[in-house]
Amino acid sequence: MNTALPSTRPTVGVLIRYARASSTLPRVMAALQGQTLRPDRILGVDSSGCVACGELIRSAGGEVLRWHEKYEPSRVLNHGLRHLPTELVLVLGSHTVLEDPRTLEHMVAAMLEPRVACVSGKGRERNPGSDYSDAITWQEIQEKGLKFGSFYSNNLGLLRRSCWVECPFDENLPTAEDYAWALEQVNAGHVCRRLNFPFTLARRCASREKLFSQIIFQLAAWHHVKPAWPGVWNSVRCLAGCWLRPNQPDARDLRLQLCERLKGWGAFHFSRPVLYGSFRS
C-alpha cells in the first residue's frame, strides 16, 4: 500500500477522552508518541479529575480540558472537537493501543481523497464474505443492509472535522453515536474507509449488545434500509441449534449474541424507542 503523504499534509489532532485511565493511558500515549506521523495537537478531555492522566498528556505536549458534567459519550466528544480545530481528528480511546507505528500515517493517507469522511480499523469478522467493503458508500448499505458491527469506531477513528461541523455526534444517543454519525456521512454522499492494522484494547468494556441492537433497528427504520440479521424465526432456530450442539465452535458466543439481539428487537418494537435524530431536526 502506497502511503506517501504530500509535503503539505492536512493538520492532524488527537482527541482522547478519559476518566480513571491511569492504568491504560501510559501504553496508549507511548504508542501514540511512537507513530511515524506525529500529530499537530493532542487534546485530552478529563471526566474525573485524574491528575496522573493530565500530567501524562501534558508531558507529550498536549492540552487538557475538564468535563464537569455527567459523562455522556456524544456530549464529551462534541465538546472536545469544538476545541480541536485541526483538519483531521483521530478520536482515540484511553484504552486503545496502536501496535503499528505507521497506523496514523496510513489513516491520514486514506483521508487524502476528499470524499472520505472517516477511516477506522477493521475488527474481527465472523463472515468476511458477507461483510462491508473497505470503502463503504450508501449504495452498499442499501444493497447489503445495516449490519450489527459498526464500520466506524470512536475508539480508534480518524474523521474529517468539516464533516463533523456539518453533522455533530447525536447527543440523544447513549451509545452507537459513531455508527449513527458514519451512516449520516455515507447518506450524504461521503465514503467511510476501513483499514487493516493491529491494535489492542488494554481494557475490556461492558457489553451493551442489547442496547446497541435496539439502536441498529431504529437506525435501519429511520434510514429506510433493512437490518442485516436473520430475523426472529431464523434466530430462534439458530439458538435451538446452539443449545442442541453446545460443542460447536463459538456456540456460546453466538447464543449470547443472538439472545441480546432478540432482546434489542423486542425493545425496539415494544418499548419506548431510544431518542435519535437531533441533527436531523
pLDDT per residue over 73-82, tens digit each? 999 999 999 9
pLDDT in tens, 105-137: 999 999 999 999 999 998 654 443 348 999 999
The cell for 272 is 419506548
Instruction: For domain 12-201, give the fold.
Output: Spore Coat Polysaccharide Biosynthesis Protein SpsA; Chain A (3.90.550)
**Which whole-number Å values give the CA distances from 21 to 42, 61, 114, in the listed order?**
16, 18, 35
The C-alpha cell of 90 is what? 483521530
What residues does each domain of the chain span? 12-201, 209-276
The H or E element spanning position 33 is helix 25-33
Q: List, for residues 192-227, the tens digit of each pLDDT value.
A: 999 999 999 876 665 678 888 999 999 999 999 999
Is the per-residue pLDDT at 184 higher than 90? Answer: yes
Cell numbers representing residue 91 in the block? 478520536
Helix, strand, coil abundance in the chain, percent, nearest 5:
40, 15, 40
Helix (H) or strand (E) holding 270: helix 251-270
